[in-house]
Structure 1
Amino acid sequence: MEKKSLTALVSAFARAHHAEQNRVTIFNDSLARQLLTDEEYEGISGNMAQGIAFFQPDFAGSREETLRRVADHQLSPTPLGRAAFAEKALETAVLLGAGQYLIFAAGYDTFAYRQPEWGKNLQIFEIDHPATAADKQRRLSMLHADKPSNLHFIPGDLRERDWQTELLAAPDFHPEQISFCSLLGISYYLPKDAFKQLVAAITSILPTGSTLVFDYPDEWTFTPQAGERAQKQLMMAASAGEPMQASYSYTEMEQLLQEVNLLIYQHLTPDEITAQLFKAYNDSQPDHPMTAFDNVNYCLAVKR
């Protein structure tokens, strides 16, 4: 669990660093920095800057330049891109009638504390491992901000069914209410059968018209044809004791979703992600362009 929390903290760092460094952002998480202590922020900064020897051994620059290169090239594209994709899709879903937002493996997501006006009528459920959820609540208490009345914490292990029992028992959760579900950063680390079972379990308790958003590694991820960044990400995950376990072709993912009563509504490849979600930032930062992560697709699926 400590490793999973560290992964979530590094994602929070990526969002915080991007928001602090740029006026025009891919995704502006204005609260992420406040969830990290100064010691954590500086520690992660130092470790990431030292990682240049692994990520781009030919690069030379100051500590700040090195940190930015590692962040923009390796660390930030996925946390920023998928968050931007998810929250843009969430806004559309709310306009179409979604009344509940389920964030699976919520980590240090801050949407509930920076929810825009269009999100005020949502009931927000953060579903995560009890240890991570408790640590996040401790960090949120340091913001000296009242817990939003529409935010609910649901403890549970996504590999088990306890999360489903806890969610269904929550007084403010209504299975008949159209919902929007975020499953970002999950598909990589579950065997295919386990990911399918999780998606099936979610779909089974939600009505027609509910949506799921997630990212997933494509079929080339575990092959020599994968991009350099993807290959290094695999090495890092394995060395950290969290090996990636699955990758999918579009056809395979489409079939999996159909079998659990879901249809793909929107699907973006890395080139499409860069063109659609990174353009404004790249136009504003020609010296620090960013591209979507190799071999990672984004998907929005709707229950039939």
Structure 2
Amino acid sequence: MEKQSLTALVSAFARAYHAEHKEVKVFDDPLARLLISDEEFAGISGNMAKAAAFFRPGLSGSPEEALREVVDHQLSPTPLGRAAFTEEALEAAVRLGARQYLIFAAGYDTFAYRQPAWAAPLQIFEIDHPATSADKQRRIAALPIAMPENLHFIAADFREPDWRSRLLDCPAFDPPCISFCSLLGISYYLTKEVFRQLLSDIASMLPRGSSIVFDYPDELTFTDQAGQRAKKQVMMAAQAGEPMEASYSYAELERMLEEADLLIYKHLTPEEITDQVFHAYNNSQPDHPVTAFDHVHYVLAVKQ
């Protein structure tokens, strides 16, 4: 990948659309819209409205209604749900003593620029592919936003063996310090061996009590039993040049984590995500509910 991630940009679009158009929010990211140019926002909006017949066959209505349906049904459930799950877990970890937040594949995440008061003790590390990291920094530099003093950029490709040295070379990174790590949207795009090694490498660098949050596609994702949303998401990722590589059963994932000295502290199925994360929003929008994405699960794991 020699240019910024298109899937990361679409995720930012979904967060921006939700923040601008919804009164009751699953997850509120008021800065996401600032990272997307008007031209990009209009282009994604138009393309998604035109694709409504693909994502929602039989749908009728105006382009605006089509866009809302595509965003709520296809684009936003995972970016919104996993962000809400992660930042709730992060707050709990900080209150228990975590002092470093490592955001792997940070993309266009905006946490560092909208830090709540409870994040004050944190050192934040945005770790991402050099192309996406450079594009993110270019976009931020063009905004009237002060660069947080506790934010550090680490340009690294997780598929390359030197990514750990790049993090360790950062003077602000303290390996003995309890850390919270987010690996959102990563497990889909790495082979199983690379993802297994990534989990092991991260865990080996951190002390007991550190935690990792990630989402993953289950073992039905690439089968005929997969839901239509999942099948279309696989197709869309491939067309964007970022094909999905792997899926996991719970038992397989549990073994993988145990090998890395990680234990599952919390695990949410799609049904549980809908009940817990989207409950308040759906009560406010009974005619247009949002449901968690087919076959996508969330995990909070803690190092023993």
Same fold (TM over 0.5): yes
Aligned to 2:187: 187
| Aligned-residue offset at 1:250 | 0.6
Give the alignment of 1:24-63 within 5 angstroms.
24-63=24-63
- Separation in structure 1 between the aligned mates of residue 2 and residue 156 of structure 2, nearest angstrom: 16
Aligned-CA RMSD value? 1.0
Give the 3-state SS of the residue equivalent to 2:5 in structure 1.
Answer: helix
Contact 1:127–1:163 at 8 Å: present in 2 too? no
- Separation in structure 1 between the aligned mates of residue 239 and residue 132 of structure 2, nearest angstrom: 22
Aligned to 1:231: 231
Give the 3-state SS of the residue equivalent to 2:287 in structure 1.
Answer: coil
Contact 1:101–1:124 at 8 Å: present in 2 too? yes
Aligned to 1:301: 301
Contact 2:4–2:131 at 8 Å: present in 1 too? no
- Separation in structure 2 between the aligned mates of residue 163 and residue 213 of structure 1, nearest angstrom: 19
Give the alignment of 1:68-87 within 5 angstroms.
68-87=68-87
Give the alignment of 1:120-159 within 5 angstroms.
120-159=120-159
Aligned to 1:241: 241
Contact 1:221–1:247 at 8 Å: present in 2 too? yes
- Separation in structure 1 between the aligned mates of residue 65 and residue 287 of structure 2, nearest angstrom: 11
Aligned to 2:220: 220
* 1:160 matches 2:160: yes
- Separation in structure 2 between the aligned mates of residue 56 and residue 2 of structure 1, nearest angstrom: 32
Give the alignment of 1:93-108 within 5 angstroms.
93-108=93-108
| Aligned-residue offset at 1:15 | 0.1
Contact 2:180–2:211 at 8 Å: present in 1 too? yes
Residue type at the aligned position of 1:226: A
- Separation in structure 1 between the aligned mates of residue 242 and residue 30 of structure 2, nearest angstrom: 29
Give the 3-state SS of the residue equivalent to 2:188 in structure 1.
Answer: helix
- Separation in structure 2 between the aligned mates of residue 46 and residue 231 of structure 1, nearest angstrom: 22
Contact 1:49–1:63 at 8 Å: present in 2 too? yes
Give the 3-state SS of the residue equivalent to 1:264 in structure 2.
Answer: strand
Residue type at the aligned position of 2:187: S
* 1:264 matches 2:264: yes
Residue type at the aligned position of 1:38: D
Contact 1:219–1:248 at 8 Å: present in 2 too? yes
TM-score (norm 2): 0.98
- Separation in structure 2 between the aligned mates of residue 211 and residue 181 of structure 1, nearest angstrom: 6
Instruction: For structure 2, list consecutive stretches of 5 or more residues without a partner in the other structure.
Output: none
- Separation in structure 2 between the aligned mates of residue 160 and residue 242 of structure 1, nearest angstrom: 17
TM-score (norm 1): 0.98
- Separation in structure 2 between the aligned mates of residue 55 and residue 2 of structure 1, nearest angstrom: 29
Give the 3-state SS of the residue equivalent to 2:264 in structure 1.
Answer: strand
- Separation in structure 1 between the aligned mates of residue 150 and residue 272 of structure 2, nearest angstrom: 34
| Aligned-residue offset at 1:238 | 2.5
Contact 2:82–2:298 at 8 Å: present in 1 too? yes
- Separation in structure 2 between the aligned mates of residue 297 and residue 76 of structure 1, nearest angstrom: 15
Instruction: For structure 1, list consecutive stretches of 5 or more residues without a partner in the other structure.
Output: none
| Aligned-residue offset at 1:160 | 1.0
Deviations 1:181-240 (A, max 9, x none): 000000011110100001111111100010000000011111111111011111222233
- Separation in structure 2 between the aligned mates of residue 169 and residue 152 of structure 1, nearest angstrom: 12
| Aligned-residue offset at 1:3 | 6.4
The sequence identity of aligned pairs, in percent, is 69
| Aligned-residue offset at 1:268 | 0.1
Give the 3-state SS of the residue equivalent to 1:147 in structure 2.
Answer: coil
